């Protein structure tokens, strides 16, 4: 099976990847798999999976924590049926979870063997319909207004300089239409990954994000600005409490260009067209910041 190392920046279209068969943990044995990120040393990974009609599996929860968001089809977990937008978590050592599907399903799966035992989900299986979970206004010092979230992995501290529990967080994130953050941000204390579910988001040096886009930022990687025309809905996953520091986007001539990128994007983005996953060099804003390799920041503590 192919690997996508979590130590490296990533930006690609998940839906364009080939399906593979996973020879790893028992949960994946009868599933088609697209590898989004993984760590061969720990066995942790994030995947898109596809199950056939009539699939069933007893998850012993003795290898890792399974967290699964259903994007299509149906899943029954311990007798509760969920459809698209459903969510199942089986934390490590929670006991057996009976899983099945009548019509088959596709889902994003977060497989975490490096788990903080006893902190999340009351160490019990958790089954939910995400559309029933309340939105929370996301507030962090320095963060611009216009972002909300739903906590999937809980408890999920969401106040102050750092968000998320000791083993990180898994959230639905909604950026309001017209959101524009002209600065870059950096997270020194965690690795993060995001998969887009709906809408659009432009990030210099990466490109235009659309449904199916995947972005990964190792700790210390500068990324941004963050811009959306019609709004953006994504899943955010990180492996530790997330703090953020912000800085201006400066080109090689020493000029601040984030503000101009925000203006050009919002003034030039058509409301009559939908956008697809596009690499940065193919965007008209590329001329303002032609760098193509995101830089790591030096921490000054």
Domain count, the chain: 2
| pLDDT for position 105 | 98
Q: Which residues contact 144 (CB under 8 A, 6 or more apart)?
A: 179, 180, 181
| pLDDT tens per residue, range 100-146 | 999 999 999 999 999 999 999 999 999 999 999 999 999 888 888 89
Same domain, 117 and 17: yes
In the numeric block, the tokens 């099945």 are attached to 100
Same domain, 174 and 276: yes
Q: Looking at the domain assignment, is residue 61 inside a domain? A: yes
Q: What is the mean pLDDT of residues 31-49?
A: 93
Q: Looking at the domain assignment, is residue 295 inside a domain? A: no
Degrees, nearest 5: CA angle 301-145-245: 10
Same domain, 109 and 145: no
Q: Looking at the domain assignment, is residue 258 inside a domain? A: yes
Decide: pTM greater than 0.75.
yes
Q: Looking at the domain assignment, is residue 293 inside a domain? A: no
Final residue of a domain: which of 131, 166, 181? 131
Domain limits for position 274: 136-288
> In the predicted model, is pLDDT for residue 238 greater than 90?
yes
User: CB of 32 within 8 A of CB of 20?
Assistant: yes
| Tokens linked to 216 | 């990964």
Determine how β-strand 169-175 pairs with β-strand 232-238: antiparallel
Same domain, 145 and 244: yes
| Tokens linked to 79 | 């007798």
Q: Looking at the domain assignment, is residue 233 inside a domain? A: yes
Q: Looking at the domain assignment, is residue 2 inside a domain? A: no
Strand (E) or helix (H) holding 263: helix 258-268
> In the predicted model, is pLDDT for residue 62 greater than 80?
yes
Q: Looking at the domain assignment, is residue 265 inside a domain? A: yes
Final residue of a domain: which of 74, 101, 131? 131
Cα(255)–Cα(26) distance, rounded to whole angstroms? 53
Same domain, 164 and 283: yes
What DSSP line would sit under 182-231, residue for residue? -SEEE-SS--EEEEEEEE-EEETTTEEE-TTEEEEE-TTB-B--EE-SS-
Per-residue confidence at 78, pLDDT binned at 50, 70, 90? Answer: very high
Same domain, 47 and 127: yes
Same domain, 125 and 141: no
Same domain, 146 and 220: yes
| pLDDT for position 1 | 60
Q: Max Cα separation, the chain?
A: 61
Q: What is the mean pLDDT of residues 276-299?
A: 93
**Mean pLDDT taken over the chain:** 95
Cα(291)–Cα(184) distance, rounded to whole angstroms? 14
> In the predicted model, is pLDDT for residue 23 greater than 80?
no
**CA dihedral sign, ordered 232, 236, 241, 243:** negative
The DSSP bridge partners found for residue 97 are: 59
| pLDDT for position 301 | 63
Q: Looking at the domain assignment, is residue 127 inside a domain? A: yes
| pLDDT tens per residue, range 175-212 | 999 999 999 999 999 999 999 999 999 999 999 999 99
Indicate the SS3 state at residue 85.
coil
The CATH number of whichever domain residue 195 belongs to comes to 2.60.120.10
Same domain, 91 and 62: yes
Same domain, 165 and 103: no
| pLDDT for position 3 | 74
Of 234, 232, 236, 225, the closest CA to residue 275 belongs to 232
| pLDDT tens per residue, range 239-284 | 999 999 999 999 999 999 999 999 999 999 999 999 999 999 999 9
Same domain, 206 and 268: yes
Final residue of a domain: which of 131, 152, 187? 131
Same domain, 90 and 56: yes
């Amino acid at each position: 099976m192919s690997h996508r190392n979590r130590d490296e920046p990533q930006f690609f279209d998940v839906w364009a990847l080939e399906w593979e068969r996973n020879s790893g943990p028992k949960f994946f044995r009868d599933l088609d798999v697209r590898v989004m990120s993984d760590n061969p040393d720990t066995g942790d990974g994030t995947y898109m999976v596809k199950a056939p009609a009539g699939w069933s599996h007893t998850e012993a929860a003795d290898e890792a924590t399974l967290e699964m968001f259903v994007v299509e089809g149906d899943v029954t977990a311990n007798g509760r049926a969920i459809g698209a937008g459903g969510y199942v978590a089986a934390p490590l050592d929670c006991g057996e979870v009976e899983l099945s599907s009548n019509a088959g399903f596709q889902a994003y799966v977060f497989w975490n063997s490096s788990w903080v035992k006893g902190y999340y989900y009351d160490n019990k299986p958790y089954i939910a319909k995400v559309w029933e979970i309340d939105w929370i206004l996301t507030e962090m010092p320095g963060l611009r207004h216009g972002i909300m979230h739903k906590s999937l992995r809980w408890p999920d501290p969401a106040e102050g300089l750092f968000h998320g529990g000791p083993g990180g967080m898994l959230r639905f994130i909604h950026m309001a239409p017209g959101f524009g953050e002209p600065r870059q941000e950096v997270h020194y204390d965690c690795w993060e990954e995001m998969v887009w579910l709906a809408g659009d988001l432009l990030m210099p040096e990466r490109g235009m994000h659309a449904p199916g886009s995947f972005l990964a930022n190792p700790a210390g990687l500068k990324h941004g600005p963050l811009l959306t025309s019609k709004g953006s809905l994504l899943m955010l996953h990180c492996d530790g409490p997330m703090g953020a520091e912000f800085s201006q986007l400066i080109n090689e001539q020493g000029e601040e260009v984030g503000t101009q990128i925000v203006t050009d994007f919002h003034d030039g983005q058509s409301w009559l067209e939908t956008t697809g996953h596009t690499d940065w060099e193919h965007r008209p804003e590329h001329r303002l910041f032609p760098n193509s390799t995101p830089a790591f920041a030096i921490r000054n503590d």
